[in-house]
Structure 1
Amino acid sequence: MSDVQAEQRALQCPSCGGQCVYAPEDQALKCESCGTTREIAAPRNTDAAKEVAYDPATATHEVPQIAHNRVHHCETCGGSIVFTGPILSERCAYCDGPVVLGTEDAAYETTAVIPFAVSEVDAQDQAIAWAGRRIAAPGALMGHIIKARVAGLYAPFWTFDSTEAVNYWARVTKGSGKRRRSKRIKGRMTIGFDDLLVPASHHVTPLIRDGILHEFDPTRLRPYLPAYLSGFAAERHHQTVDEGLLSNEPDKDLLIRNRIRRNINASGVSNIGYRTDTTGIRYRRILLPVWILHYEHEGTAYKIVVCGIHGRTFGERPFSRWKVMGLSALLSAATIGFGLLWGALGAL
């Protein structure tokens, strides 16, 4: 029996033989035919949150594995996603473009996953609530979101730990005018980073990242099992560790500079530079859940992202030109009225 056949057999309902999918509301497998639910048996003595120590000597020799899942390639954005269990859509979860069946895919082993905790219905409710709070939104926006195409996706992410021994220098300016003084300072500090979350695919846009980045909790991680992915799309890990570390550099640079500013504890800090000796790198390859709602307004495509862990919602939205003009007129009138009132009070 092939791995794919064994996987499909494990996802069959023990009661009726139907196909089971992962149900976020039950945190279990649920049969699409008879509704029977069953718990997902995780392997014993498995620490899903375990991290892998980075060894630069062996990282370049890491070999991707061939996956026998059905791989679908998007004709619009070029994304590659796999479906475990039934194929629920012929559209790309990232951009809503058409997908076509491709060949077997070579990718790196995923170490853990945070399963969906928010159902599709709850995700749509979150998106509707988000839309209801938008100012100057077109009247048709709510209807578009109610009819939006909803895709559940497991997106690939890295987590990185490291210890940074930082030697820094900067310029501190105090005073103003003739009393303005500037001096160059330098110092050293140690920074420990824990679970920096980094997208492992260029298809994970800032919008998707922002929808899932906050409140990451490694205790929610579960062993990577096909049962958690059943009924959902997933993008597998294709980056090497070195590529992941390179993707992590911009975020780490910003965090280091902010720590340096706080360590100097002065206003007027500029021209920050630093060198760092990085040790103790540890990483995980994980999948994180996200709902993406695709809708159109006047021929333009938009999307709303709902985190599959806690329901945090971010999105793209159109503006009503007339409502924006009305708000501008109202603000202008209020400003003029306040000016007249202030002038009248001053004349008393």
Structure 2
Amino acid sequence: MQETPTQKSELKKSCVNCGAELTYAPGTTSLTCDYCSYKQEILVSENTFEELELFKYLNEMGAQSHSEQITMLQCKNCGANQHIEENYKSLHCVYCSTPLIIEDAYKEDWILPGAVVPFQLSQEKAHQIFKKWVNGLWFAPNDLKKASLDPQHTKGLYSPYWTFDAQLFATYTGQRGEYYYVTRTVGSGKNRRTVRERRTRWYPASGNVSGFVDDTLIKASKQKSGIIPSKVSRWNLKELKPFDSGFLAGFVTEKYTIPLKDGHLDAKKEAKVIATRWARNDIGGDTQRVSSINMHLSEETFKHILLPVYISAYKFKGKRYNFFVNGQTGVLSGQRPYSFWKIFFLVLGILIVIGVIVYFANQNQ
């Protein structure tokens, strides 16, 4: 009888002492039990994570040994696809807090993550960063400050990304600009003066550039709203660890919704930007124009990786606001609502002060 392979990303991590659920302790390589404080080490592989050959996956998606089946729930409000493990308790969308219905769970194939940047900040630390930021906001509604007191509003999410590597070769044509200066006389009479103007001589240029493009990072999921800001989307990829499902214990994992094929197209656009930058450096001079570039990529590989972020979702007057904290660096970014009445009374107070000053100034005349 053929043995059914174990889906290792969906194994429940149980404490050997009390049977309670183990969760990953951010900043460590350990799983911990919140009930009896038992610790279990995550055996991180000493081997580097594998770069997968791109075109095999583009042509035979789902047929490779690095694919598996996972349980998913899709948020009907914002469209986020979230991986549901046994340790998923909240049953609310991490992006918009909409209730999720467990009966809507379904099985779906995905490309197994090759690497992960583990959380370095605990939920408590991320919530402290969020709370400090909220308390420092001017004209924030009181309800927002109250919401920031509840750490349950701050949830840890592993967000999916594609990374692409390739050898790049490109030929280009363009122009090299070299600055020179001329002195001109402008104006007339007393306003007559000389000015120094910068001008550019252009010379034709052509050539080729080549090099290795490493870890082009492409977002692999898309929601109707709740997009992670670019300020927060900066992780140190040198801290990537070979994938182990232990790092996911206690956190939500979002599945990619941007297919590998579409991610590859975005990566090619980024590669062309890189090739153009290399061409400008190769042209030299004071300024450059690149009129055409013919790019070729070879030895293309990719990884599916998971990157950590904390999210707080808050509704004010029917509108949702998302706040994000980078789970590795602690960088925060988010939208914020304003209190109309706080602004109104401030403006009113300023007008009263101005009125009093004007009144007494007139009395002293």
Same fold? TM cut 0.5: yes
- Alpha carbons of structure 1 residues 167 and 204: separation in structure 2 relative to 1, 3 Å: farther
CA contact (8 A) 1:88 1:232 kept: no
* 2:99 equivalent in structure 1: 98
Deviation for aligned residue 1:303: 0.9
Alpha-carbon distance in structure 2 between the residues aligned to 1:160 and 1:247? 10
- Alpha carbons of structure 1 residues 198 and 212: separation in structure 2 relative to 1, 3 Å: farther
User: Is 1:114 the counterpart of 2:117 in the alignment?
Assistant: yes
Matched ranges for 1:168-183 at <5 A:
168-171=172-175, 182=202
Secondary structure, in 3 states, of the residue corresponding to 1:115? coil
| More displaced stretch, 224-233 vs 139-148 | 139-148
User: What value does the CA root-mean-square deviation take over the aligned residues?
Assistant: 3.6
Secondary structure, in 3 states, of the residue corresponding to 1:208? coil
CA contact (8 A) 2:275 2:295 kept: no
* 1:16 equivalent in structure 2: 18
User: Is 1:202 the counterpart of 2:217 in the alignment?
Assistant: no
175, 185, 190: which one aligns with 2:205: 185
Deviation for aligned residue 1:272: 4.0
- Alpha carbons of structure 1 residues 157 and 179: separation in structure 2 relative to 1, 3 Å: closer
- Equivalent position amino acid for 2:126 in 1: A
CA contact (8 A) 1:291 1:307 kept: yes
Secondary structure, in 3 states, of the residue corresponding to 2:313? strand
- Equivalent position amino acid for 2:253 in 1: A
Deviation for aligned residue 1:10: 5.6
Alpha-carbon distance in structure 2 between the residues aligned to 1:195 and 1:105? 27
Secondary structure, in 3 states, of the residue corresponding to 2:148? helix
CA contact (8 A) 1:11 1:85 kept: no
- Alpha carbons of structure 1 residues 276 and 30: separation in structure 2 relative to 1, 3 Å: same
CA contact (8 A) 1:292 1:304 kept: yes
Secondary structure, in 3 states, of the residue corresponding to 1:249? helix
Structure 1 residues 52-78: Cα deviation after superposition (integer angstroms, max 9, x where no partner): 233x366401326452x4421111122
* 1:62 equivalent in structure 2: 61
301, 304, 317: which one aligns with 2:320: 301
CA contact (8 A) 2:72 2:83 kept: yes
- Equivalent position amino acid for 2:114 in 1: T
Alpha-carbon distance in structure 2 between the residues aligned to 1:192 and 1:303? 37
CA contact (8 A) 2:163 2:216 kept: yes
Deviation for aligned residue 1:164: 1.5
* 1:230 equivalent in structure 2: 249
* 1:146 equivalent in structure 2: 149
CA contact (8 A) 2:222 2:258 kept: no
Matched ranges for 1:1-348 at <5 A:
11-24=13-26, 26-43=28-45, 46-48=47-49, 50-54=50-54, 56=55, 59-63=58-62, 65-67=67-69, 69-100=70-101, 101-131=104-134, 136-138=138-140, 140=142, 141-147=144-150, 149-171=153-175, 182=202, 184-203=204-223, 207-208=227-228, 210=230, 212-218=232-238, 220-237=239-256, 241-266=260-285, 269-270=288-289, 272-319=291-338
Alpha-carbon distance in structure 2 between the residues aligned to 1:160 and 1:5? 26
CA contact (8 A) 2:78 2:224 kept: no
- Equivalent position amino acid for 2:233 in 1: L
TM-score (norm 1): 0.77
| More displaced stretch, 174-183 vs 294-303 | 174-183
Alpha-carbon distance in structure 2 between the residues aligned to 1:5 and 1:207? 30
Number of matched pairs = 322
Structure 1 residues 294-325: Cα deviation after superposition (integer angstroms, max 9, x where no partner): 11333321111111112122222234667599
Alpha-carbon distance in structure 1 between the residues aligned to 2:23 and 2:105? 23
CA contact (8 A) 1:59 1:241 kept: yes
Deviation for aligned residue 1:211: 5.1
TM-score (norm 2): 0.74
Secondary structure, in 3 states, of the residue corresponding to 2:305? strand
Structure 2 portions without partners, runs of 5+: 183-196, 351-365
Deviation for aligned residue 1:233: 1.1
CA contact (8 A) 2:170 2:295 kept: yes
- Equivalent position amino acid for 1:151 in 2: K
Alpha-carbon distance in structure 2 between the residues aligned to 1:192 and 1:324? 57
- Alpha carbons of structure 1 residues 118 and 204: separation in structure 2 relative to 1, 3 Å: farther
Secondary structure, in 3 states, of the residue corresponding to 2:272? helix
Deviation for aligned residue 1:227: 1.8
- Alpha carbons of structure 1 residues 25 and 324: separation in structure 2 relative to 1, 3 Å: farther
Alpha-carbon distance in structure 2 between the residues aligned to 1:204 and 1:23? 31
CA contact (8 A) 1:84 1:229 kept: no
Deviation for aligned residue 1:99: 2.1
| More displaced stretch, 195-204 vs 12-21 | 195-204
Alpha-carbon distance in structure 2 between the residues aligned to 1:178 and 1:316? 43
